[in-house]
């Protein structure tokens, strides 16, 4: 007896149908072959390429003169990694201290102690001090400002702060304004970010 396949042709055995041949994927090059490794590196560099600009700030004191215009111009640029481990201009505590002392004495010359007023005034003074310190143009420094008002009632007070500190580049400044009724203490910490 003859077996017939699906097509109805006598004598043809039913053969399994094979899927259409797919194009072969190219073999991934091995990273141990020199030419292949060079090709892998080129592909990775092509994928990670970005249009990046880096502008060195001026090395002289003109940064303080340029102030906010210079910062706003640089804010639009993307920076490449410079691998810089030291600042262009080291934080100068004496000049910042005189500026902070001047801000404290100007804003507190006729103020009497009032806890409701001083709670808001401490925030305003911290913002003013921070903006004044940023105008000095210290590149890659992070600043932390703290303003404390202490009422004089015959008590003693200790103020302490702890930081992970780089002795070579980090610094701090303290300025004090004292009257008959209170003591105002302003602290500015300058931390260098690599």
pLDDT tens-digit map of 82-115: 777 888 889 999 999 999 999 999 999 888 888 8
Task: Report the chain's C-alpha Rg in angstroms.
Answer: 35
Mean of the pLDDT values across residues 59-66? 53
Beta strands in 23-181, from DSSP E residues, in sequence order: 141-151, 171-178
User: Of 67, 62, 53, which is closest to residue 133 (Cα–Cα)?
Assistant: 67
pLDDT exceeds 50 at position 41: yes
Q: How far is 84 from 56, CA to CA, in rounded Å?
A: 11
Reply yes or no on whether the pLDDT at 3 is more than 80: no
Q: Find all residues with CB under 8 Å of 124, minimum gap 6, and list them.
A: none
CA distance 109 to 178: 10
pTM, to two decimals: 0.57
Q: What are phi and psi of 185, to 5 degrees?
A: -120, 125
Whether residue 139 contacts residue 86, with contact meaning beta carbons closer than 8 Å, is answered with: no
pLDDT at 111: 87
What would the CATH number be for the domain defined by 93-154+166-192?
A: 3.30.1140.40
Query: Quick check: 17 pLDDT over 50?
Result: yes
- 190, β-bridge pairs: 143, 171
Distance CA 8, CA 152 (A): 110
Q: Give the integer Cα–Cα distance in Å for 148 and 185.
A: 5
Percentage above 70 pLDDT, the chain: 64
Give tens-digit pLDDT for 110-153. Answer: 888 888 889 899 999 999 999 999 999 998 899 999 999 999 88
Distance of CA 130 to the CA centre of its chain: 17
């Amino acid at each position: 007896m003859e077996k017939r396949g699906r097509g109805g042709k006598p004598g043809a055995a039913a053969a399994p149908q094979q899927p259409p041949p797919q194009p072969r994927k190219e073999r991934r090059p091995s990273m141990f072959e020199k030419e292949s490794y060079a090709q892998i590196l080129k592909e990775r560099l092509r994928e990670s390429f970005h249009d990046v600009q880096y502008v060195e700030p001026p090395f002289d004191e003109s940064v303080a003169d340029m102030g906010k215009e210079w910062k706003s111009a640089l804010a639009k640029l993307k920076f490449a990694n410079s691998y810089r481990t030291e600042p262009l201009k080291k934080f100068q505590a004496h000049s910042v201290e005189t500026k902070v002392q001047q801000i404290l004495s100007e804003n507190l010359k006729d103020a009497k102690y009032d806890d409701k007023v001083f709670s808001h005034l401490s925030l305003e003074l911290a913002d003013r001090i921070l903006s004044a310190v940023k105008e000095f143009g210290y590149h890659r420094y992070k600043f932390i400002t703290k303003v404390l008002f202490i009422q004089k009632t015959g008590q003693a007070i200790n103020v302490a702060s702890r930081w992970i500190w780089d002795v070579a580049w980090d610094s701090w400044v303290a300025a004090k304004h004292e009257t008959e009724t209170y003591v105002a203490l302003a602290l500015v910490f300058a931390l260098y970010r690599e």
